[in-house]
Amino acid sequence: MNRVFPLPKLYRQSILRPLPRISLVTARRFATKGSDHPTEDKPRSPTEGKAVAEHAKLDEGAKSGVSEEVLAPLQNIPTPELFSLKNRTIIVTGAGRGLGLTLAHGFIESGAHVRAIDILSKPTEPYWSTASSLATSKGLTLEYHNLDITSETSTSKTFSKLFSSAPSNAPIRGLYISAGINHFLPAEEFSAEQFRRVIDINLTGTFISAQAFAKEWFKKYGDKGEILKAGEGASVVFTGSMSGHIANAGLMCAPYGASKAGVNQLVRNLAMEWSKKGIRVNSLSPGYIQTTLNNAVLAEHPEYTDLWVSQSLLGRLSTADEFRGPATFLLSDASSFMTGADIISDGGHTAT
């Protein structure tokens, strides 16, 4: 007996839908025997570099009636230059020492003017002077601003001053947030005050800084939600941590892990709210970095060195300079289509 089975709705829609319109160029190609359609290509060497869908690219232009230039605003910029931070000023929090100061130095190397912010009354020497000399030698400016990023009022005032005083040929277009603290204690011994302090600096301070940046940006460029082209707008980068993704075996720092997981989620929320208003928001999550502070922890607990190294797929800890690449990538036009994302740079620690 023949039984009629009703087709699932989606399938019915797909077979009953009229065939898509094929542009003239495509039609002619399909009609020509021995055409250069990729399915008819002979096997190609992997190094040949021939685009598989070159014909499709041409057809796109023909169909939409716009030039390739409009479709790809960055296409005429050579790849290495996409990573440049020239003609822009970057604010870096936590830039008085450690990762923040190393990155500030790296951003100057990439051509940015830098505005360093830290709660320390003075930045750490000799690193600051080295960065300062580099800036001068490149005709760039590096300024230090003493600020506690947990203070809404002071942060708002400082960011307002920074936006209005930035060089006219290098407006503020980026914020890198490195300010953060850790506190080691067994979870059952943390007081609420100690717990709140970590959250206050790492998570609330990150939010306050990003919000102060966004308010100044919207004040200057509007917040009407005009979609910007690739290479336009600003980039805000948070420092997460692999500790926001995993509990570091053997380390007792519950509020730190919670704060960094919060930072990773904050990225997604702010990206959802601000990306169409011109601000991309992403984070960089490092693994263990050999900073002065971590070296002090390792001196106190030599057993951690072996543990941390054994957990790294690269078999070593990182140094702060290794994060110049991913941080510069996220601030630059090289990451023009990235927002709401996290780059985990942890030597493979969280992969296993």
Ligand X SMILES: NC(=O)c1ccc[n+]([C@@H]2O[C@H](COP(=O)([O-])OP(=O)(O)OC[C@H]3O[C@@H](n4cnc5c(N)ncnc54)[C@H](O)[C@@H]3O)[C@@H](O)[C@H]2O)c1
Task: Enumerate the active-site residues.
Answer: 256, 260
Residues 8-67 that bind ligand X (CB under 6 A): none
φ, ψ at 118 (rounded to 5°) = -165, 155
Smallest distance, ligand X to C-beta of residue 242, A: 7
Among the candidate windows 16-24, 115-123, 302-310, 332-340, which touches ligand X by CB under 6 A?
115-123
- Assess 119 for contact with ligand X (CB under 6 A): yes
Q: Which is nearer to ligand X, 69 or 193 (CB)?
A: 193
Q: Which is nearer to ligand X, 26 or 312 (CB)?
A: 312
Among the candidate windows 28-36, 178-186, 271-279, 305-313, which touches ligand X by CB under 6 A?
178-186
Q: Which is nearer to ligand X, 118 or 333 (CB)?
A: 118
- What sign has the CA pseudo-torsion 107, 109, 110, 115? positive
Residues 255-294 that bind ligand X (CB under 6 A): 286, 288-289, 291, 293-294
Find tokens 């947030």 and name the residue.
177
- Assess 100 for contact with ligand X (CB under 6 A): yes
Distance CA 2, CA 347 (A): 62
What SS3 string covers the chain? Answer: CCCCCCCCHHHHHHHHCCCCCCCHHHHHHHHCCCCCCHHHCCCCCCCCCCCCCHHHHHHHHHHHCCCHHHHCCCCCCCHHHHCCCCCCEEEEECCCCHHHHHHHHHHHHCCCEEEEEECCCCCCCCHHHHHHHHHHHCCCCEEEEECCCCCHHHHHHHHHHHHHHCCCCCCEEEEEECCCCCCCCCHHHCCHHHHHHHHHHHHHHHHHHHHHHHHHHHHHHCCCCCCCCCCCCEEEEEECCHHHCCCCCCCCCHHHHHHHHHHHHHHHHHHHHHHHHCEEEEEEEECCECCHHHHHHHHHCCHHHHHHHHHCCCCCCECHHHHHHHHHHHHCHHHCCCCCCEEEECCCHHHC
Identify the residue among 178, 283, 328, 335 touching ligand X (CB under 6 A): 178
Identify the residue among 92, 140, 149, 175 touching ligand X (CB under 6 A): 149
- Assess 246 for contact with ligand X (CB under 6 A): no
Is the CB of residue 168 less than 8 Å from the CB of residue 87?
Answer: no
Among the candidate windows 51-59, 98-106, 128-136, 300-308, which touches ligand X by CB under 6 A?
98-106
Q: Which is nearer to ligand X, 93 or 328 (CB)?
A: 93
Q: Which is nearer to ligand X, 74 or 246 (CB)?
A: 246
Among the candidate windows 47-55, 128-136, 147-155, 161-169, which touches ligand X by CB under 6 A?
147-155
Smallest distance, ligand X to C-beta of residue 286, A: 4
- Assess 156 for contact with ligand X (CB under 6 A): no
Smallest distance, ligand X to C-beta of residue 290, A: 8
Residues 195-234 that bind ligand X (CB under 6 A): 201, 205
Q: Which is nearer to ligand X, 119 or 246 (CB)?
A: 119
- Assess 96 for contact with ligand X (CB under 6 A): yes
Find tokens 């780059």 and name the residue.
343
Is the CB of residue 134 less than 8 Å from the CB of residue 104?
Answer: no
Q: Which is nearer to ligand X, 298 or 338 (CB)?
A: 298
- Residues binding ligand X: number (CB under 6 A): 28
Among the candidate windows 25-33, 172-180, 210-218, 220-228, which touches ligand X by CB under 6 A?
172-180
- Assess 296 for contact with ligand X (CB under 6 A): no
Binding positions for ligand X, rule: CB under 6 A: 93-94, 96-100, 118-120, 147-150, 178-181, 201, 205, 239, 241, 286, 288-289, 291, 293-294
